[in-house]
Amino acid sequence: MSTVDHAAGREQSTGVAHAVLASTADLPAPWAAICGVSVDVVQGKWNGPRGLGSSAPCPECRRIAES
């Protein structure tokens, strides 16, 4: 997988950005990040400003998405 195969998800309580499989991003909430965390909002691409470009991207999601 590559970072382009993911959407950007976010935990509203913490503000941490997580990677969500793009193929599941259109499904109803809640969504599961690739690291296993449940996210509240999915918006944008993981390799964009709401994902990797955010102030708090999940290090585990980054590691998994880039492997």
Q: Give the range of the structural domain holding residue 49, as residue numbers without chain letter.
A: 3-66
User: What are the backbone dihedrals phi and psi of residue 62, each rounded to the nearest 5 degrees, phi first?
Assistant: -60, -45
Q: Three-state SS for 12?
A: coil
How do the pLDDT tens digits run along the chain, 67 residues long? 455 689 999 999 999 999 999 999 999 988 999 999 999 999 999 999 999 999 999 999 999 998 8
Domain count, the chain: 1
The pTM is what?
Answer: 0.91
Please give the structure tokens belonging to residue 51. Answer: 């994902």
Cis bond before residue 30 (omega within 30° of 0): yes
